[in-house]
Structure 1
Amino acid sequence: MAPLDPDTGHRGPGPVGGEVPDLNPAQLDAVTHPTGPLLVVAGAGSGKTRVLTRRIAYLISERGVSPFGILAITFTNKAAAEMKQRVADLVGPVAQRMWVSTFHSSCVRILRRDAERIGFPSRFSIYDQGDAVRLTGYVVRDLNLDAKRFPARTVHASISAAKNEGLGASAYADRATGPFEQRIGQVFLEYQARLQRAGAMDFDDLLGNAVRLLRSHPDVLDEHRRRFEHVLV
């Protein structure tokens, strides 16, 4: 299989699809699936990454899809780097310019362009887990809450769980029932306000704010829909 030109994304001279993929029949069916949704259910070590990388190569070499019209997402940085390298082995250096990344990295790229639409600077800061727990501890202290009863790590875990359910600070505070949840709600509100003032997002916000941006601004959503003909997760 000839490599792709890194600037144009077009394949140079050479046989296309000449190699025989190391795939079983079920994997081959997934790789060559016609256009439309496809769910692959498989356990660890079953070759899911191989299927995704072969699918990308198949779309480019056999279906004529532009490499820049493919979005490939995985869960960890290690897996994303491995997938990008495997794709590069199949299609050449153009793989380095493709969107092959984690959920969080993809959301960062989306938000960097349009974060101002949802009240954040385009150069927003990203708080990692340690930063987020420290900020939570400062809020617990400043609200005069007992740090032994409300450990920063435990409180932040509750905030993170709420965000992963799609709950913002106000929604969480409004539905809090017992005294403990109500205190968590107070911390959540102040924690989020401080992030906003700092022009920062934590890891959970990267996902939630990307969703909020796409839902609240159809033109941004349409732009990404037009760009990415195939989304592989």
Structure 2
Amino acid sequence: MISFLSLVLVLVAFSQGSVQAQDKPMSRAEAKAAFEKADRALNEAWAVAKQKLPEGDFNKLKEDQRAWVEYRDYLARSPMYTGADGQGELALDAPEYLEAAAGLEEERTTWLKGLTHEWKDETLTGLWTDSYGGSIEIVEREGHLHFVIQCVRGPTSHVGGLAGIAVWNSTIGWFSDKGREKDKTDETNLSFVLTDKRLEINGANTGYYHGARAYFNGSYVKVKALDAKAQAKVVKAAKAGEVPEE
């Protein structure tokens, strides 16, 4: 199952701006310019968050941001992630680092903007991301969440994907795959807890659906609305229990 999903999910990750170096690497000047542009946008989103969020929420965000910066540098300095030559960590002025860090900052900026955006649709329907390589498309209907969750984690791009329908009760949801796979003995669960604009997702026995170091757990934020066509695709995939091909 995972081998089938690998190509699909890596392509999804590229479409979200999440990974690795392009076929033709940027020059040092180009990479520096891309990083500076992404960094300005991130700082602007950060300033908006500081202005809009309550003090307690912003203090928590500062802790989150410190952890995210460590994650950014862990990935962007990895030759495995960037495709750079060599074994050791890349220098902070290496073009491969700057290019990869710029892409990761774009993801984080999108996440931060979602944290402060006022959505007209009060349901959970939309695209959510955790800015760590995880995304979930959700269509909320009549007490259920139809979802497709996907992730690409770590410098070696461990991938995962799961589609299904969770029971939803106001701010809490629960998914079980019990009885869905004849040869699967361990039940897989996902919990969904909505706190303000964050959807906290945690899983149990999810390894059947992802690689060794991939995981679905994360703090997801809504970043995009889904049009009618996209919603229909999510609902179809959720009912079939199959991650759709892109």
Both structures adopt the same fold (TM-score exceeding 0.5): no
TM-score scaled by length of structure 1 = 0.27
Larger Rg: 1
Q: Which structure dedicates a bigger proportion of its chain to strand?
A: 2
Which structure has greater helix proportion?
1
Tell me the TM-score normalized by structure 2: 0.26
